[in-house]
Amino acid sequence: MLSTCTIFAKMDYKVFAPSRVECEVNLPASKSISNRVLIINALAGGNSEVKNVAKCDDTDAMVNALSNADVAEVNIGAAGTAMRFLTGFFAVQEGRTVLLDGSERMRHRPIKILVDALRSCGADIEYAGEEGFPPLRIRGKKLSASEISLRGNVSSQYISSVLMISPLVDGLERVKLTEEVISRPYIDMTLSLMRQFGVNTQWDGNDIVFEKGAEYKPLDYVVENDWSAASYWFQIQALLSDSKISMNGLFDESTQGDAALEQLFVSLGVKCSKEGETVVLSADCGSCAKTIEMDLLENPDLAQTIIVTLCMLERPFHITGLQTLKIKETDRIEALRTQLLKIGYVLSVGEDLSMSWDGTKCEPLDEIRIDTFDDHRMAMAFAPASVKFPGIIINDIEVVSKSYPEYWQHLLKAGFSLKEVK
């Protein structure tokens, strides 16, 4: 078994859960906020201090890209947020040419919608490989447009990338979002941060309207901790109802859409109370629903955690709003379906990409190995399944470094144990 000081390499581990957890967790800083603030701070001149920046692969990629002002090639690895945000950022860096590249998986993640939107206001971006995908060769220049239009029913990161550079686009009055707007809390997070740095906006239907002449102003900023990371502790509380878990650094008036965890997990039997910036979890089984209908359109990053939890609780469900899961680190819909099948849960996928479970089961594999597909959330969502399947194997557990590098150490401190699979 492993100690709490273990450094995790690219290995596979068996996970064993305790019968009860009582712990205090110092959550990682929000990478969603960190990455936005780092871009906005750089656009504002980069002279302010940003404290409590997330320490994870995604944010490290952003920090490295922004701190090397003269390099001609930037490789952000598997950091999807960095790819989208830096595409907009480099497009407005006048006189600078950058080749923006990533991992092999990143080269298969679409970016055409964002590139087309930026090109519409004069951006000089060409595909250095396959059309519609990274790598991108970006020649920074002055952009201008009165309006930028892009679809609202794709990744909110495309929209946030355009929004954050909007004060540097001459004459821009509005960003027009066509079709249904999904993941709106992430757009609202971006707008809130822009507002704090001096750029006011307002919604006009599906359009975002800008204040004329607004410019970013320097601002020292403290990043709050991550509600998405908190989801795995909500999951553990739901599966080990006798537990009591405290999490630090979560703001009461959070800009993070995943703060909706409080409401979403009520029907899974989790009670949430607050003491300052500490959130305390306990059981409230009287609030459990027998079947679950849930729309995660605004909280897609919670899908894996919630769906695995519901299966472990043997709770039939129908979850909608999962459209963006197919273009994440992996096709998360297919990954969930195939890996849950290994442990005996037969899920259905609808034409609208909703996922449901009606109680149908099959025999679980004798040795359960969960493939993570280079996806941090697959590893973290399936590890608590060890409550019901002791010794479940999580492959390539180091993938958690993308967003929550201390996840396994925190599990160990909470009483879980890990055993390396030779």
Per-residue pLDDT tens over the stretch 298-311: 888 899 999 999 99
| pLDDT at site 9 | 58
Across the chain, mean pLDDT equals: 92
For residue 8, what pLDDT is reported? 56
In percent, how much of the chain has pLDDT > 90?
Answer: 79
Return d(Cα 189, Cα 122) in angstroms, integer. Answer: 26
Look up the pTM and report it: 0.84
Query: Would you state the pLDDT for residue 116?
Result: 97
Tens digits of residue pLDDT in 344-363 = 999 999 999 999 999 999 99
**What does the angle CA 16 – CA 22 – CA 26 come to, to the nearest 5 degrees?**
95
What are the backbone angles phi and psi of residue 291, rounded to the nearest 5°? -130, 155
236-239: long-range pairs with CB below 8 Å, 24+: 236/21, 236/384, 236/387, 236/414, 237/21, 237/265, 237/270, 237/281, 237/282, 237/283, 238/265, 238/268, 238/269, 238/270, 238/309, 238/313, 239/17, 239/309, 239/312, 239/313, 239/384, 239/387, 239/388
Whether 4 shows a pLDDT value over 60: the answer reads no
Confidence category of residue 222, pLDDT binned at 50, 70, 90: very high
Q: Name the least confident of 89-93, 163-167, 320-324, 378-382.
A: 320-324
Is the predicted pLDDT of residue 5 greater than 70, yes or no? no
- Given the residues 301, 371, 375, 396, select the one marked as catalytic: 301
pLDDT recorded at residue 224: 92
**Residues 173, 388: Cα–Cα separation, whole Å:** 54
- Contact between 36 and 163 under an 8 Å Cβ cutoff? The reply is no
252 is catalytic: no
Q: Is the model's pLDDT at 287 over the cut of 80?
A: no
pLDDT tens figures, 122-134: 999 999 999 999 9
Predicted pLDDT of residue 286? 67
What value does the mean pLDDT take over residues 254-273?
91
Residue ranges and CATH numbers for the domains of the chain are 13-29+225-420 (3.65.10.10), 31-221 (3.65.10.10)
Model confidence pLDDT, tens digit, residues 39-81: 999 999 988 999 999 998 889 999 999 998 789 999 999 888 9
- Answer yes or no: is pLDDT of 7 > 60: no
Helix axes 112-119, 156-165, angle to 10 degrees: 30
User: Between 210 and 155, whose confidence is greater?
Assistant: 210
pLDDT, tens digit (0-9, with 9 covering 90-100), for 146-205: 999 999 888 889 999 999 999 999 999 999 999 888 878 889 999 999 999 999 999 999
